[in-house]
Structure 1
Amino acid sequence: MSSPKLATPPKTTDRLNFFPAKSWTHFVAGGLGGMCGAIITSPLDVVKTRLQSSMFVENAMHHSGGTATVSVIQSKGLLWSFVETGHILRDIYTNESPAALFKGLGPTLVGVVPARSLNFFTYGNGKQIIANHFNNGQESSVVYLAAAVLAGVVTGTATNPIWVVKTRMQLSASQANPYRSSWPCITQIMREEGIRGFYRGLTASYLGVTETTIQWVIYENLKKISQNSDSGRVGEFFGIIGSSGASKMVASLITYPHEVIRTRLRQPSVNGVVKYRGLWQTLRLVIAEEGAARLYGGLSAHLLRVVPNAAVMFTIYEGILRWNGQS
């Protein structure tokens, strides 16, 4: 007489997984896209950081004899500032070195690759989890918004120390004793400011979550429109490029002042004095001393950098997802 068969326990593969299948693809695709975009647009990132910083403006005024004849300090409108960006790139190349155009690229890549990997991983999987658990499996603008906020907060908190080091290195390139590598910069911040020094500008980074949120919501909706058209694969490809570039431009124009505030908060102390100490204090001080227009300092270089950067990054991201059957 055969013994009764015992019930077979369920396999672990039958259990409900919290993360969607192939969730790692978002991590890899985001990192590769961010790396390529950062390398291509690194010179414009250097220009943008300097234009946002009060240290660069003060240095320019000093070398011009205090007459402020340096056109970057003059207010000639947004279109002229695009021309001026080219002048600054030329001056950096001529007066410093071609390598100075890529100053801070090391910390940028160290920051961009994990930041983009983490952001795309959190967002790409987050929107699926939020939709499945809270919106009957349907994606919507509210789902995109919630996933983007979550991704922005997680990424900003995790990578802020890297951006502080990158900013300090880019600003030091125009000073008498520039950092030659990241390590001296890291040790100086630790020695003079402690752990808190690596989290300078974090409040402005959280404010910047609004930019990524706006960008993701606009991008997703524009992408839907392009996918619903009968333009084929080529049209879909250009639709991704257009959607990513347009969404980044709109988001940047709306939220740009936080970039300037964040750069000011990450500046090193001068003679032991920290000029910019908090979000609202920095905002009031910049407006009082330099005018509200300075909150848009470096906007031209920023747009010239982030729009093609977004196009490259999102195209690579979407391409990898499609190659892996994720989209």
Structure 2
Amino acid sequence: MEDDQKNAPEKKEFERITVPGWVNFLIGGSAGMMSICIVQPADLVKTRMQLIGKQGGKKVSTSEVVKQIAKTEGIFGFYHGLSAALFRQATYTTGRMGCFNTLFDYHTRYYGSPIYPVRVAMGLIAGGVGAFIGTPADVALVRMTADGRLPPEKRRNYKNVFNALGRIIREEGFITLWSGATATITRAMVVNGVQLATYSQVRELLMPFLPNGMRLHVCSSIISGLVTATVSLPVDIIKTRVQTAGKGANQFQVLVNVIKNEGVMTLWSGFLPTYARMGPHTIFTFFFIEELKKLYNRLE
């Protein structure tokens, strides 16, 4: 009997630090804000490429967009809209990460580690909750990052996220803060359903082969980011176009117009900066989450 136990393959359990529900929300938002400070330039380039589409029937490359921003706006041009990005993380990421981790911990405590379809469902719920809370910040972020590509006379020139939110309410009405909310929530549900479920599933599958640390985070994030970027980018592009179009824009009409006028592959324009943002953002977000959880446990 003892020999059988010695010869049996060692089962390595999925290591997960659990914390109180309210701490999940606080840690999720803090980790998102720390991460966005690193990846904001890639996010800005991605948004610009989605709005540009094609020029003269030709797709604009990532390097061309980067050169244009550096030339016309300088190095700090890559951080336009950072205040809105931080505010978005404080609302959207707080909601989505807090909700997902709370649901995950609850399921693990009472029913064991959830299977992949259940994780996807948790991600969908978390994404929807976070997106509804974060849509106003998302509208401000898209407008602020897009402002630099407009002619000077058409720029909104928001000073910061709070100035943007205030002017949107005064000039366009309170409801405008949720313009494109359906597209935003749809995109967030897709992103979170795929990203959070894939990351946690891949991390669990890789744990028998990699030690729990940075290498495990990186490998899990690379796979999760690739899958998420491929699945979510079309939804993200439609959301961006709807939010910048103003009142009356319909996401189905925007989708049809993009495919008709620019071609179906336009739905994946900006894939490289999207993946360049999503991979590192996932790496840093989950790394910061784990480290903040460890810090909380040490201080408790």
- The normalised TM-score by structure 2 is 0.83
CA-to-partner distance for each residue in 1:34-84, whole Å, 9 max, x for gaps? 12221111111111111111xx458xx5xxxxxx2xxxx624xxxxx7xx3
* Structure-2 change in CA distance of 1:140 and 1:278 (3 Å): same
| 1:93 to partner: Cα distance | 1.6
CA-to-partner distance for each residue in 1:243-286, whole Å, 9 max, x for gaps? 122112211102210010000011054xxxx5x61121111111
Q: Does 1:320 align with 2:295?
A: no
In the alignment, the residues of structure 1 paired with residue 39 and residue 292 of structure 2 have an alpha-carbon distance, to the nearest angstrom, of 21
Pairwise CA RMSD of aligned residues?
2.4
Selected match of 1:52 from 44, 50, 53: 50
Secondary structure of 1:240 counterpart: helix
| 1:125 to partner: Cα distance | 0.7
Name the larger-Rg structure.
1
| 1:325 to partner: Cα distance | 4.5
* Structure-2 change in CA distance of 1:285 and 1:130 (3 Å): same
* Structure-2 change in CA distance of 1:180 and 1:226 (3 Å): same
* Structure-2 change in CA distance of 1:322 and 1:144 (3 Å): farther
CA-to-partner distance for each residue in 1:176-210, whole Å, 9 max, x for gaps? 13414134533442244322211112111222212
Selected match of 2:95 from 115, 118, 142: 118
Structure 1 segment 218-233 matched on structure 2, within 5 A: 218-229=198-209, 231-233=210-212
* Structure-2 change in CA distance of 1:39 and 1:320 (3 Å): same
In the alignment, the residues of structure 2 paired with residue 96 and residue 323 of structure 1 have an alpha-carbon distance, to the nearest angstrom, of 39
In the alignment, the residues of structure 1 paired with residue 167 and residue 245 of structure 2 have an alpha-carbon distance, to the nearest angstrom, of 10
Structure 1 segment 220-299 matched on structure 2, within 5 A: 220-229=200-209, 231-233=210-212, 236-269=213-246, 274=247, 277-299=249-271
Q: Which blocks of at least 5 consecutive residues in structure 1 are unaligned? A: 1-19, 62-67, 76-80
| 1:163 to partner: Cα distance | 0.5
| 1:91 to partner: Cα distance | 2.0
- The normalised TM-score by structure 1 is 0.77
User: Kindly, what percent of the aligned residue pairs are identical?
Assistant: 22
Q: Which blocks of at least 5 consecutive residues in structure 2 are unaligned? A: 1-17
The equivalent residue for 1:179 is 157
In the alignment, the residues of structure 2 paired with residue 179 and residue 46 of structure 1 have an alpha-carbon distance, to the nearest angstrom, of 16
Q: Which amino acid aligns with 1:28?
A: L
Name the structure with the higher helix share: 2
The equivalent residue for 1:65 is none
In the alignment, the residues of structure 1 paired with residue 34 and residue 27 of structure 2 have an alpha-carbon distance, to the nearest angstrom, of 11
| 1:323 to partner: Cα distance | 4.1
* Structure-2 change in CA distance of 1:314 and 1:114 (3 Å): same
The equivalent residue for 1:74 is 58
The equivalent residue for 1:93 is 70
Q: Does 1:103 align with 2:103?
A: no
Q: In the alignment, is the contact (CA less than 8 A) between 1:128 and 1:137 conserved in 2?
A: no
| 1:108 to partner: Cα distance | 0.5
